[in-house]
Copies of this chain bind each other. A is one copy, B any other.
Amino acid sequence: MKAQNTISQMRRGILEFCIISLLADNEVYTAELIDRLKAADLLVTDGTLYPLLNRLQKADILQYRFVESESGPPRKYYSLTEEGHAVLKDLDGAWQEIHGSVEMIRRGNDSE
């Protein structure tokens, strides 16, 4: 299907936003995040997420701490930094603007 490529692009664009949103009020470890994003069809593979998290962490948007697991290797639990919360606020505003633009464009042409 030819739309598939474009649809992937749309998903990709909001991936970071969704990750940051998911971490807004909870500490979440990576594999859990992967499951949730995959369930929402926003992520394809874990090889995408790990570099992304590292990037956001280096940008001082995320922080993590290692937590020992009861059954398996230790896990990185991520949460937002103070700056991360500020970024989330910006992203939230941007999302609403973009959403508005898209709806305007969609309506503008459906009406006829």
Contacts and interface: CB of A to CB of B under 8 A. Distances in A.
Interface in A23-67: 24-26, 40-42, 59-61
Interface of A: 1-3, 6-7, 9-14, 16-18, 20-22, 24-26, 40-42, 59-61, 83, 87, 90-92, 94-95, 97-99, 101-102, 104-106, 108-110, 112
Given A6-B16, A9-B12, A13-B12, A21 B92 contact: no
A107 B90 CA distance: 16
B25 A17 contact: no
Contacts of A26: 109
A105 B11 contact: no
